[in-house]
Chain A
Amino acid sequence: MSDQLLLDRVLDALGDPMRRRIVEQLAQGPQPVGELSHSLPIGRPAVSRHLRVLGDAGLVHHNTQGTRNFYELAPQGRLELHRWLSALWDSTLGSYAAYVASHPEGQDRS
């Protein structure tokens, strides 16, 4: 998958408030889908669907321990987000640098 496509998936996945709640829940540690659905106002099938979307975006993966399937946060989606925010600041500072270049000291700044 291209970086851009993955990034789009990450942002789309986190665009849903319930999926953000799931990410916050998983931030406290790995959980099976049943426990997740107890702490959220939606049913287990809906939680599973959200987990699939988060998984496709590289934000969540699952881990089988015995007979239980635990979900936990995955690093890939987060790295993508980190790169994306860096790029946002780069473009902001790029705009600043262009402004400085066209406004040398001592010149009338009005």
Chain B
Amino acid sequence: MNPAPVVSEVRVKATAGHAFALFTDHIGEWWPVHSHSVHAGTVAFEGNELVERRGEQSAVWAEVTRWEPPSVLGLTWHAGHDASRTTDILVTFTQDGEETLVRLTHTGWERLEDGDQAATDYAEGWPVVLDRFVLALAV
């Protein structure tokens, strides 16, 4: 039984190219790190990874799987824990006149079906609860 994908979308008044650039190059300026992060640090794409840093601490949240500006960004997603347990995020940017529809689809839960017997002692915050969510949703 595969859980349904989690889909979230938003329309922005921008071209797809601009929307893609702001989403990626400027992620550190809009990502709500205070509520949705491991260390409440700063996030940025560094090469092929999305990395959060605060002082000497860092956490790799994702690896880029598709980088196809202006229309597709694909990521593996494992914020808060190691890359042995990833789900998938696909963000599509579809221009419609002066607007762009940004749709984020979070899938891959079935890959976590066996769960993980390893570390459960993650940092406090959103990824922790996300991890709990994943465990439950993965069933």
Residues of A within 8 A of B (CB): 10-11, 14-15, 17, 20-21, 23-24, 26-27, 59, 73, 77-78, 81-82, 84-86, 88-101, 103-105, 109
Contact = CB atoms under 8 A, between A and B. Distances in A.
B10 A101 contact: no
Contact of B13 (A11, A23, A81, A101): A101
A93 B139 contact: no
A90 B126 CA distance: 14
B96 interface: no
A14 B137 contact: no
Nearest to B100: A100
Contact of A11 (B30, B106, B113, B132): B132
Contacts of A101: 12-13
Interface of B: 3-4, 6-15, 18-19, 22-23, 26, 29-32, 35-36, 102, 104, 106, 113-115, 117, 120, 126, 129-130, 132-133, 135-139
Contacts of B26: 99, 103, 109
A24 to B, nearest CB: 4
A19 to B, nearest CB: 9
